[in-house]
Structure 1
Amino acid sequence: MARLHNKVAVVTGGASGIGLACVRRFMAEGAQVVGLDIGEAPADFPGLFMSLDVRDEPRVQQVMSEVISRFGRIDVLVNAAGVADQGSVTQTTTANWQRVLDINLTGSMLTSKHVLAQMESQRSGSIINIGSIFGLQGCDGNVAYNVSKGGINQLTRSMAIDYGYANIRVNGLCPGLIETPMTSMVREQQAFHAFFASQHMLNRSGQPDEVANVALFLASDEASFVSGQMIAVDGGFSAGRRFAPPSA
């Protein structure tokens, strides 16, 4: 199928992890895709790649203007750029706190800000913000990340309300433990990784493609009446806790 035929998609954090999975999935469904990332694109990157630090508003505006000039429109924006951090309030430096919020939350606002005018003129568009299960519920030693992803939820709902009149849909995805470069520090702690994975009711961690598949649905016309939603892609983690070992 070509579920994104003739659509133009922009994906931040597009050089790795969930962002790269979205780039590949969208292209396979017929979209013209622009990947944006602060780092370099992998050698086999399938679409157009442009360098971008989402904290740099003049550069964000420039990049989005170049995409519009080249393709004439932007139909889909996936905000997948993000960073992690560890620490409680008393363990987190002000600099680390600000860095996490600037990239995860403010960066998503800035990229959205500079595509919304185009989407308003088109009277169509889909913005997909990558949140986290830890935006839906908290966890210990993760305060800056938790707060940034909680903010993503309200950013998503607010934009869905403000721009729904123009047929612009805004939704969020809340992944659980996904095997990406960002979670490599979890995999290095084998016992903790096994425990964390076991807290997902499917008793495993997820893959980036499994998040990209849901992003594809939200980007497509199949989700034409879905907006303002935070969808957990977490193998049942947010369903609750199990108190007995999983059944064989």
Structure 2
Amino acid sequence: MARMLNKVAVITGAASGIGLACVRRFAAEGAQVVGLDLGEPPAEALQGLDPAPLFLRLNVTDEAQTQAVMAEVIARFGRIDALVTAAGIASQGSVTQTDTANWQRMLDIHLNGCMFACKYALPQMVAQRSGSIITFGSIFGLQGCDGNVAYNVAKGGITQLTRSMAIDYGHANVRVNGLCPGLIDTPMTTMVKEHAEFHAYFASQHMLSRAGQPEEVANVALFLASDEASFVSGQMLAVDGGFSAGRRFAPPAL
């Protein structure tokens, strides 16, 4: 299939993890992908993709740079059909363990970075009367967890940002949805994998009893960006192997 044929998709956090998986998935479906990140992925990760993705350098916390990059994309391709805001970093700490600089960095990258990208893509989408924005929340933007306050709050903000934009721009046929991944094996979650016992426990709390893969999240992002999701907007969709369904109190029956 070529569900994104003749469409332009802009993806932040595109050099690794879920962002890179989205680059590969969208390009495989025919999209002209523009990847935005501080670096570029390994060349082998992009082999065989046609059209070849274009990578531009972007610090998502820099509003002026974000504005300029979006203007460059529009000047080159004339439109933006999909925006995926996958840039993010991990954090740890409770309120008393989180210094102000780390708190601000988490808000800047996750929440402000998402808002800036949307702010400068939306006018083009409104003008063309079409577009799909896919933000990245988290299961911990839907519910809390211990020792992760800055991340949780930033992701919770993305939940409300997503809903607000869906309300504000739906009249222009712009759809806005968010994905809320569970534990996904990416470079960002390396610190979890380094603690094998905790990783196994965390994975076991997903009803599928495993961590997810970046490609599994990218598949859902592709659906939301495609015309197949033409009546889906304002939703925060958990891609979490059943984590948010509830808790399991007994070992699964085999």
| 1:24 paired to 2:30 | no
Q: Does 1:219 align with 2:225?
A: yes
TM-score by length of 2: 0.97
Instruction: Quote the Cα distance in structure 2 between the aligned partners of 1:12 and 1:123.
Output: 22
SS at match of 2:87: coil
Output the CA distance in 2 between the equivalents of 1:244 and 1:151: 34
Query: How far has the Cα of 1:36 moved from its partner?
Result: 0.5
Q: How many Å apart are 1:45 and its aligned residue?
A: 4.8
Aligned residues: 248
Q: How does 1:31-70 map to 2 (within 5 A)?
A: 31-46=31-46, 47-70=53-76
Residue type of the alignment partner of 2:96 = T
In the alignment, what sits opposite 1:146?
152
Kept after mapping to 1: 8 A contact 2:177/2:233: yes
CA shift at 1:70, angstroms?
Answer: 0.5
Structure 1 counterpart SS, 2:75: helix
Q: 1:86 aligns with which of 84, 87, 92?
A: 92
CA distance in 2, matches of 1:169, 1:110: 17
Q: Which of 46, 71, 78 is the equivalent residue of 2:77?
A: 71
| Structure 2 spans left out of the alignment, 5+ residues | 47-52
In structure 2, what is the Cα distance between the partners aligned to 1:246 and 1:59? 50
Over the aligned positions, Cα root-mean-square deviation in angstroms equals: 0.7
- After TM superposition, the structure 1 = structure 2 runs for residues 1-248 of structure 1, keeping only pairs within 5 Å, are 1-46=1-46, 47-248=53-254
Mapped to 2, the partners of 1:43 and 1:215 lie a distance apart of 23
User: What's the offset of the Cα at 1:42?
Assistant: 2.0
What are structure 1's unaligned runs of at least 5 residues? none
Tell me the CA shift for residue 40 of structure 1.
3.1
**Sequence identity percentage:** 77
Question: Could you tell me how far apart the structure 2 residues matched to 1:41 and 1:71 are?
Answer: 22
Shift of 1:246: 1.5
Write out per-residue CA displacement over residues 143-174 of structure 1, whole angstroms, 9 at most, x where no aligned residue.
Answer: 00000000000000000000000000000000
Given that 1:126 and 1:168 are in contact with CA atoms closer than 8 Å, whether structure 2 keeps it comes out as: yes
Matched AA of 1:152: I
In 2: Cα distance, 1:49 partner to 1:172 partner: 23
The answer to whether the 8 A contact 1:130-1:173 is kept is yes
* C-alpha distance in 1 between matches for 2:188 and 2:41: 16
- The letter of the residue matching 1:168 is V
